[in-house]
Structure 1
Amino acid sequence: MQSLQVSYNKQLHEIGQTRQKINTILDEIENTTLKELEDKMTTLKASVNTNVDNCSKLQNELTRLRDTIHDIVDKGKAELSFIASKKCLEKINQSETYLKENLVQVESSLTFHVDSDFQQHLSKLSGLGRIVVCTCTQAVPLPGAPNKVLAVQGKSEYDVSIASDVKNRFDIRAICVLSNDQILVADYTNKRVKLLDHQYQVVGHCDLNAYQFDMCRITSSEVAVAVDVDQKNEVQFVSVNDGRLVKGRKLRFKHPCYGIAHNLQYLYLTSGTALYKYSMSGDLLIKLYENKSYPLTGNRMVDITFFFINNYKEFSYSIMIFTYSLKC
């Protein structure tokens, strides 16, 4: 109950933080719109003021010419009167032309057009997000036995070597269980995947000619193997067909492939320092995590399905299968 209350308080805080972020975004949008309004108003005012100044200037010039003509007529200077009349006509034509080009227009105004798409999108939202209930099953240790959740009930050791193995030792990097109790093991040293039956006997193998770093189950009859071929990073798909291992399609990547997992039709790969999410066709969807503080900060993804131990004794090829039970 205490952990539930803690998670409730945490999510309540997250909702408040989300609302604050949305408020900040809306404030920025409003300020941008207001600035656009002010800029357009300033531009229109400047244009109107320019027209007013030019009209005043033309009016003053026409007034001076009128007064000059009256003065010349009063003094009886016919020649000067003719010249002044010509200048006056030129200024009148100039004024009329300016008025036609600049003032014969519809009165300017400002109108705000609401972004209807934005409002409709907001109105369709049912909330700030979704509330998801996560149910986690946790083993609780017995009183008086702290940190002892798993107990070993038994151990079995099986030889998985075959005559064509080229090395005197092997390194099992991954193990997967398929349908009908078929088991696949990735033999890193001998560069091959081996098929075991329900008695843990080797009944088939597939040479990959590449070092295998990890392997994961894709379907009930197919696995994906992270391999290194001449420093080319690939994922090789291998399927079981009528008791035989068959190599399928291959994906190539720009980064090392040290760990691999499959979930909900997505591939997850580790490069040693980063965790990537890919589509099943090999398209990068997102880099989920990266830490370059050390060369192998994200070396492996752990799949708690089998616990195995590699036996490095010379000429001894074996795996150990441990049986575990929960102590609740």
Structure 2
Amino acid sequence: MASKDSSIYMGSDLIHDYSCSKCEENDLNTEALHFCQQCEHYLCGKCVRNHWAYFKEHVVYGRGEIQKWAGFSIDICEQHGKELEVHCDDHQEFCCSVCVALNHRLCSSTSHLSDLAKGFLKTKRFKQLPAAVDKMRNRLNELKTDRMKYQDSLKDSYKNILVEIKALRKEINQILDKLEKKTVEQLDSMMEDLEKSIKNDLEACGHIDDQLKTLIEKLQQATGKNKDTIPYIGFRKCQSILSEANCLVQEIRVKEEMKFKSDESVLPFLRNLKRFDIVESVFTYVYRVQSLSHYKVRIKKDKNNCSIKGVCGLANGEMVIADYNNLRVKLLNRQYAVIDHCDLPSTPQHLCHTTDNVIAVAVSDFSTINEVHFLTVTKGKIQAMRKFTTDHCCHSIAHHKGQLYVGSSDGLYLYSMDGRLLKTIYEALSCVRTVYSCAVSPSGKRIYVTNDYISKLLTLDKTGQVLFTVEYPDLKNPTGLFVSPIDYVFVCGRGSIAVVQVDKEGKQKVATVASEADGIICPQSVWFSGQTSTLIVGNYEDDDITVIQLC
């Protein structure tokens, strides 16, 4: 095994902290750039290529992993192989005597490491280092696990997209086959008509030809006889048939030809297609807690503990929350203080922002009162506008492009803004609280539904078909749900006391954004601001809302 100690070799006076073991055997002085753990050899760039040729399975570490080299010491200069003695305060670097002589002679401030290290073992910073390293290693391991899962997810996505491309090609082929079949059927029909027309023409020509032949023969036989009337009659009949024949000839001379003329828009359209569709590579930010604060939202008129079942933000930075226990909707300023409220005839189950400064609130006592109320927010005041009644309980509500999605214990319904039931989107009569909360993606293609009874997040398409189901331990009893304008999906699990980020397809969890360890109390509703990276969490049976600054 070669020593790491610097040496002077034949033909060179260069000093290396690690010299190539193979070159040393030939009295050559070459700096080692690699180390093989199995062979315990230091290798230069040339020798490592030969080594890889013979030992492909050996693990070789480069200079970037010098800590794994045999003989590496933490207090030895990686560049010169000398003991580290001082710290250059100007460059914030550890230096050996050679470093100081070559690179740091003109620096204004250097400190001896022995002086800096006095009493450092007893400092709080040093004692906290193992815990900080463990925490970071755990995060790195989580990140590695997430990336591995993401890699598997990418492979699955790749396979699924290939299937979709093949299916699209098959559908296009089927469409083209149908077009070809209909076009050929049209051609066959046209050919049949033309052949029938030709057959009729041939029969007409043969018939007239026979008539003329017979008539002229009889006329010639009658000529020379003493009776003049027969030639005259024959002549007149012959003239009549000739006239008929002349018309037939003129008519048949007009030929009806078949020509194929394709739709001129088809081929240019197909030629201009670069691909069937756009395959998107979607980058998703993963959020973590940076800071967390609690704000009181209870007012003097409240008789019960607050229970915030709905949260939504307005363009001016104000917030509106639905307090289930106290039968009122509250308006918060930018500092999250209650500045106004509006009392309702029954419990507000959920709310959403519709247009401008108008809020829609799902109100229900699950018996006689099942209504959607519209409130308006103007200059720090919140007031009732109008309402409409439904035939089912109103448990949750979401707005998208002038339509309202109202969730009930047995399904999800689509309403117009004036209260007309447009259609039933989704039903699951066997479940309790089928739609605890609902949200719609910015494109309107996906509808997200939480069911706290079965602890699942469902993703539906516009027709109500279930596309994906997400079920995780930290999504126990999912309640609150929010989808941002750029497709970030946040769900809070009241039973698991956590807020989870889900991918926009609703296929899988991206990350646990915040948990009880971060200071979450009992999350029941959630809202997210992409502009400020702020998460607002409404809690169950608690007078505080939780404001989380994310990074």
Smaller-chain TM-score bracket: 0.5 to 0.7
Find the residue that maps to 2:257 and give its secondary structure: coil
Q: Find out whether 1:4 has 2:154 as its counterpart.
A: yes
Residue 292 of structure 1 corresponds to which residue in structure 2? Answer: 427
**CA distance in 1 between partners of 2:350 and 2:281 (Å):** 32
* Equivalences for residues 217-296 of structure 1 within 5 A: 217=353, 223-226=359-362, 236-241=374-379, 243-246=380-383, 258-261=395-398, 269-272=405-408, 273-274=411-412, 290-294=425-429
**CA distance in 1 between partners of 2:316 and 2:205 (Å):** 97
Kept in 1: contact 2:294–2:545 (CA 8 A): yes
Residue 134 of structure 1 corresponds to which residue in structure 2? Answer: 282
Find the residue that maps to 1:108 and give its secondary structure: coil
- Aligned-pair CA distance for 1:54: 0.9
- Aligned-pair CA distance for 1:128: 0.8
Find the residue that maps to 2:223 and give its secondary structure: helix
**CA distance in 1 between partners of 2:371 and 2:220 (Å):** 99
Residue 145 of structure 1 corresponds to which residue in structure 2? Answer: none
Alignment partner of 2:240 out of 74, 90, 94: 90
Residue 195 of structure 1 corresponds to which residue in structure 2? Answer: 331
Residue 27 of structure 1 corresponds to which residue in structure 2? Answer: 177
The structure that has the greater radius of gyration is 2
* Equivalences for residues 1-328 of structure 1 within 5 A: 1-73=151-223, 76-100=226-250, 102-105=251-254, 107-136=255-284, 159-160=298-299, 162=301, 173-177=309-313, 182-187=318-323, 192-196=328-332, 202-207=338-343, 212-217=348-353, 223-226=359-362, 236-241=374-379, 243-246=380-383, 258-261=395-398, 269-272=405-408, 273-274=411-412, 290-294=425-429, 297-298=434-435, 300-301=437-438, 302-303=480-481, 304=491, 305=526, 306-310=537-541, 319=543, 321=545
Kept in 1: contact 2:330–2:340 (CA 8 A): yes
- Aligned-pair CA distance for 1:60: 0.9
Deviations 1:107-148 (A, max 9, x none): 3322222322122222222211111123456799xxxxxxxx
| Structure 2: tracts of 5 or more residues without a match | 1-150, 439-479, 482-490, 492-525, 527-536
Letter in 2 for 1:31: K
- Choose between structure 1 and 2 for higher RCO, CA contacts under 8 A separated by at least 6 residues: 1
**CA distance in 2 between partners of 1:209 and 1:126 (Å):** 58
- Aligned-pair CA distance for 1:37: 2.3
Task: Note closer, same or farther for the CA distance 1:94–1:235 as it changes in structure 2 (3 Å cut).
Answer: farther
Find the residue that maps to 1:236 and give its secondary structure: strand
Task: Note closer, same or farther for the CA distance 1:129–1:200 as it changes in structure 2 (3 Å cut).
Answer: closer
**CA distance in 1 between partners of 2:205 and 2:336 (Å):** 102
Kept in 2: contact 1:160–1:200 (CA 8 A): no
Kept in 2: contact 1:206–1:247 (CA 8 A): yes
Root-mean-square deviation (CA), in Å? 4.7
Deviations 1:85-124 (A, max 9, x none): 3322222222223333x2242x332222232212222222
Task: Note closer, same or farther for the CA distance 1:52–1:205 as it changes in structure 2 (3 Å cut).
Answer: same
Task: Note closer, same or farther for the CA distance 1:254–1:209 as it changes in structure 2 (3 Å cut).
Answer: closer
Kept in 2: contact 1:266–1:277 (CA 8 A): no
**CA distance in 1 between partners of 2:415 and 2:332 (Å):** 30
Task: Note closer, same or farther for the CA distance 1:233–1:123 as it changes in structure 2 (3 Å cut).
Answer: farther
Task: Note closer, same or farther for the CA distance 1:154–1:172 as it changes in structure 2 (3 Å cut).
Answer: closer
- Aligned-pair CA distance for 1:26: 1.9
Between 268-277 and 79-88, report the one with greater CA deviation. Answer: 268-277
**CA distance in 1 between partners of 2:154 and 2:264 (Å):** 41
Letter in 1 for 2:241: K
Letter in 1 for 2:539: F
Task: Note closer, same or farther for the CA distance 1:61–1:199 as it changes in structure 2 (3 Å cut).
Answer: closer
Kept in 1: contact 2:321–2:329 (CA 8 A): yes
How many residues in Structure 1 have an aligned counterpart in Structure 2?
295
Kept in 2: contact 1:255–1:271 (CA 8 A): no
| Structure 1: tracts of 5 or more residues without a match | 141-149, 311-317
Kept in 1: contact 2:309–2:539 (CA 8 A): no
Question: Which TM-score applies when normalising by structure 2?
Answer: 0.43
**CA distance in 2 between partners of 1:269 and 1:323 (Å):** 27
**CA distance in 2 between partners of 1:187 and 1:53 (Å):** 93
Question: Which TM-score applies when normalising by structure 1?
Answer: 0.67
Letter in 2 for 1:115: D
Determine what percentage of the aligned residue pairs are the same residue: 23
- Aligned-pair CA distance for 1:17: 1.9
**CA distance in 2 between partners of 1:255 and 1:36 (Å):** 54
**CA distance in 1 between partners of 2:211 and 2:271 (Å):** 61
